[in-house]
């Protein structure tokens, strides 16, 4: 997951200032804050002096510590002599004393990180939860970041320098090389060493929080009233009270219509809605409003059956993305180890090189199994494939179950939030957890009604609770909300186990968010089983492989678009929202034409640009397909074993590098091979 500084200071992330747009005085100020005070000769002299004092046994730690402090020290921190004195007096040679200092720091970080996080969660409740009408003051408090000055405070107090001096930082290659040799204490020390490798000013962090909060709020309140969609004759096809968030709600409704009356027509209508959102030709008057009828195919707006003129959405979607780009780019000069947001997202947070991730995805979407699975889907549908069949859902058991029946089952079981909350321990017991463990975990999870599609938000200290947010309607939870809730519950279980059961706070969590997505997928795939709907299909494991394969194929394309959009942004940092829109759509069509058009038979489809996380959670999308691969490898490994015991065993590995975690968990590294081989086997049977 995020390193501790980003986790504390950027629980949301960033807004309006790239260095190219700063006024001259601010550029000069930034230059002074990013230029090191200490020369190479000064560092060499200090290292020699400290080696003479402490002994040659500490040469590695002294050399790394001095380099780290020197890279971060600025004139406002003191003179060169003061820096030398600080290093000489603050270096800890005695291992026992170093361990005491480490434990004190970790204790205090949990207090600080946990309480900042708790404040952030509470301040954002009016934005994230159904609490009645939302007011402008809610947006203002939601954008406020109490932790924005944390980094500055740590440097001003010299705590950051103490940590940088005594706990070496390692880059990704070094961690990978050392992974198998390190003890748990070595790993914990290294994670503390990650805490202060850059020095980002508080105003930049605050701008990040503001921008990300605004884009999250934009997406969370982007709903389409489906009962207002009409065809060319003015006929409606969806329930009057159906309100779907883009893109998740639209996608899930599209998926549900493979087995419904007028299903294909409704799917095409939903895809027309999506294309208008992507192109920003959607009428402003239909976003989160139900005052007018809208024909998305012809893009015509009606009032009481009479066509009226409208204003399109003014590229707001792409302005949100552009604001986030400018915000994260403002960090670049302060992070020499990862000098672009792309580097920070992959080398830093994911700890897998971006080029390696892109190659993994490209090889997968180019595999011969893609056309073979597509042919199978075509036969099962008895028609040519449509672009939206990237979301074909027929390999799941529920693919043949009418969603109206599922809605009735779920609504009867969970009419209120408290009913789902009360059932969480039972859900875990059904998954193999013993009752005491189930109670321990679920006592630390709180269920809330969500404004948006739903999300999980883990705690950052052990006396706080994780939050599970999902949508509840007036008639209770529906199947879509339940399906999302089970996914988010998987996140919460991971968050709780890795916070409470991992042996050191500095190692709590998982290697990156792809791993928590994998656990969430494991839970989500058992949603019908948890409702008591048994899957007796003898081919269910083959179907699971096909379902995972097709889901990976879809989201890998979306992720390739996301990565290439960010490369384009860095190549065109002065672009406008309108120019960005053209670029995103062009990139989406290019990826489609290369990897999807040969399978689907249509060119220039923009569908891969619809994913909402592309707008409000930059470069997060790659975690989903990597998560699918991890999920499948875990599923293969735990087949016939106790899910709860195996998942708990895996999760207590904590936040080590991804490939070592996988090796410890299932005996092999992250790979597409297991899924591709299983897909080939499934095709021979199905």
Q: pLDDT tens digits, residue range 442-471?
A: 999 999 988 876 789 999 999 999 999 988
- 612-622: average pLDDT: 94
| Residue 400 pLDDT | 57
In which band, very low, low, confident or very high, does the pLDDT at 147 lie, cut at 50, 70 and 90? confident
Q: Provide the b/e sequence for 650-685 (b: ≥16 CB within 10 Å).
A: bbebbbbbbbbbbbebbeeebbbebbbebbbebbee
In which band, very low, low, confident or very high, does the pLDDT at 27 lie, cut at 50, 70 and 90? very low
Token readout for 539 is 């081919």
CA pair distance 463, 374, nearest whole angstrom: 49
Residue 13 has pLDDT above 50, yes or no: no
Residue 31 has pLDDT above 50, yes or no: no
Identify the DSSP state of 473.
Answer: B
Whether 519 and 488 have beta carbons less than 8 Å apart is answered as no
| Residue 343 pLDDT | 96
CA pair distance 346, 175, nearest whole angstrom: 14
- 218-246: average pLDDT: 95
> Which residue stretches of 457-596 are H helix?
479-500, 513-524, 527-530, 540-571, 577-595
Whether 600 and 392 have beta carbons less than 8 Å apart is answered as no
CA pair distance 490, 497, nearest whole angstrom: 11
Of 25-34, 129-138, 157-166, give the lowest mean pLDDT range. Answer: 25-34
**What angle (nearest 5°) sits at the alpha carbon of residue 499, between those of residues 493 and 504?**
145
| Residue 144 pLDDT | 87
- 78-94: average pLDDT: 96
Report the candidate in 113, 87, 105, 117 with the shortest Cα–Cα distance to residue 192.
Answer: 105
Residue 26 has pLDDT above 50, yes or no: no
Report the candidate in 470, 477, 471 with the shortest Cα–Cα distance to residue 412.
Answer: 477
CA pair distance 572, 574, nearest whole angstrom: 6
CA pair distance 275, 270, nearest whole angstrom: 9
Residue 2 has pLDDT above 60, yes or no: no
Q: Is 469 helix (H, G, I), strand (E, B) or coil?
A: strand
**What angle (nearest 5°) sits at the alpha carbon of residue 302, between those of residues 297 and 305?**
115
Of 95-99, 240-244, 415-419, 451-455, give the lowest mean pLDDT range. Answer: 451-455
CA pair distance 98, 91, nearest whole angstrom: 9
Residue 311 has pLDDT above 90, yes or no: yes
Report the candidate in 374, 394, 370, 373 with the shortest Cα–Cα distance to residue 384.
Answer: 374
CA pair distance 48, 55, nearest whole angstrom: 10
In which band, very low, low, confident or very high, does the pLDDT at 35 lie, cut at 50, 70 and 90? low
Whether 12 and 208 have beta carbons less than 8 Å apart is answered as yes
- 532-554: average pLDDT: 90
In which band, very low, low, confident or very high, does the pLDDT at 417 lie, cut at 50, 70 and 90? very high
Token readout for 207 is 């701008």
| Residue 562 pLDDT | 98
């Amino acid at each position: 997951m995020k390193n501790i500084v980003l986790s504390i200071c950027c629980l949301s992330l960033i807004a309006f200032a790239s260095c190219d747009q700063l006024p001259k005085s601010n550029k000069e100020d930034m230059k002074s804050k990013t230029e090191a005070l200490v020369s190479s000769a000064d560092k060499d002299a200090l290292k020699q002096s400290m080696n003479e004092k402490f002994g040659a046994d500490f040469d590695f730690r002294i050399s790394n510590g001095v380099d780290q402090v020197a890279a971060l020290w600025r004139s406002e921190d003191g003179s060169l002599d003061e820096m030398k004195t600080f290093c000489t007096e603050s270096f800890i040679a005695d291992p026992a004393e170093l361990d005491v200092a480490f434990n004190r720091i970790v204790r205090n970080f949990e207090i600080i990180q946990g309480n900042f996080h708790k404040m952030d969660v509470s301040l954002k409740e009016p934005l994230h939860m159904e609490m009645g009408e939302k007011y402008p003051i809610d947006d203002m408090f939601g954008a406020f970041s109490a932790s924005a000055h944390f980094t500055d405070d740590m440097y001003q107090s010299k705590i950051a320098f103490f940590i940088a001096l005594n706990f070496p930082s390692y880059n990704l290659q070094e961690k990978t090389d050392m992974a198998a040799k390190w003890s748990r204490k070595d790993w914990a020390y290294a994670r503390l060493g990650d805490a202060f490798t850059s020095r980002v000013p508080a105003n930049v962090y605050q701008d990040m929080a503001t921008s990300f909060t605004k884009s999250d709020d934009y997406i969370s309140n982007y709903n389409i009233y489906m009962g207002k969609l009409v065809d060319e004759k003015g006929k409606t096809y969806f329930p009057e009270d159906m309100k779907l968030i883009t893109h998740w709600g639209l996608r899930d409704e599209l998926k549900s219509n493979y087995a419904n009356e007028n299903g294909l027509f409704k799917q095409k209508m939903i895809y027309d809605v999506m294309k208008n959102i992507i192109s920003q030709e959607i009428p402003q008057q239909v976003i989160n409003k139900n005052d007018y009828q809208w024909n998305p195919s012809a893009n015509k707006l009606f009032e009481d059956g009479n066509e009226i003129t409208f204003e399109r959405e003014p590229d707001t979607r792409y302005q949100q993305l552009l604001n986030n780009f400018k915000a994260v780019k403002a960090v670049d000069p302060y992070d020499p180890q990862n000098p672009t947001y792309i580097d920070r997202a992959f080398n830093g947070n994911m700890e897998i090189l971006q080029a390696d991730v892109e190659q993994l995805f490209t090889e997968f979407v180019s595999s011969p199994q893609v056309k073979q699975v597509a042919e199978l889907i075509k036969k099962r549908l008895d028609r040519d494939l449509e672009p939206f069949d990237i979301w074909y859902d027929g390999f799941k058991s529920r693919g043949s179950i009418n969603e109206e029946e599922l809605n009735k089952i779920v609504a009867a079981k969970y009419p209120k939030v408290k009913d789902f909350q009360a059932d969480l321990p039972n859900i875990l017991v059904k998954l193999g957890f013993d009752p005491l463990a189930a109670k321990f975990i679920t006592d630390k999870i709180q269920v809330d009604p969500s404004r948006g599609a739903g999300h999980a938000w883990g705690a950052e200290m052990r006396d706080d609770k994780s939050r599970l947010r999902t949508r509840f309607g007036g008639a209770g939870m529906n199947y879509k909300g339940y399906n999302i809730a089970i996914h988010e519950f998987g996140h919460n279980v991971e968050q709780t186990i890795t916070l409470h059961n991992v042996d050191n706070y500095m190692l709590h969590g998982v290697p990156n968010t792809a791993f928590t997505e994998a656990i969430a997928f494991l839970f989500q795939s058992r949603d019908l089983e948890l409702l008591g709907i048994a899957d007796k299909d003898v081919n269910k494991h083959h179907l699971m492989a096909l379902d995972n394969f097709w889901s990976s194929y879809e989201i890998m394309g979306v992720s390739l678009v996301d990565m290439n959009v960010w490369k384009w942004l860095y190549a065109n940092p002065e672009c406008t929202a309108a120019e960005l829109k053209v670029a995103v759509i062009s990139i989406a069509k290019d990826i489609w034409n290369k990897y999807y058009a040969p399978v689907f038979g249509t060119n220039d489809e923009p569908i891969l640009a619809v994913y909402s996380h592309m707008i409000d959670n930059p470069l997060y999308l790659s975690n989903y397909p990597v998560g699918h691969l991890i999920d499948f490898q875990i599923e293969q490994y735990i087949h016939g074993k106790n899910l709860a015991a195996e998942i708990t065993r895996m999760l207590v590995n904590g936040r080590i590098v991804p490939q070592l975690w996988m090796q410890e968990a299932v005996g092999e590294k992250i790979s597409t091979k297991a899924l591709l081989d299983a897909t080939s086997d499934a095709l021979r049977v199905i």
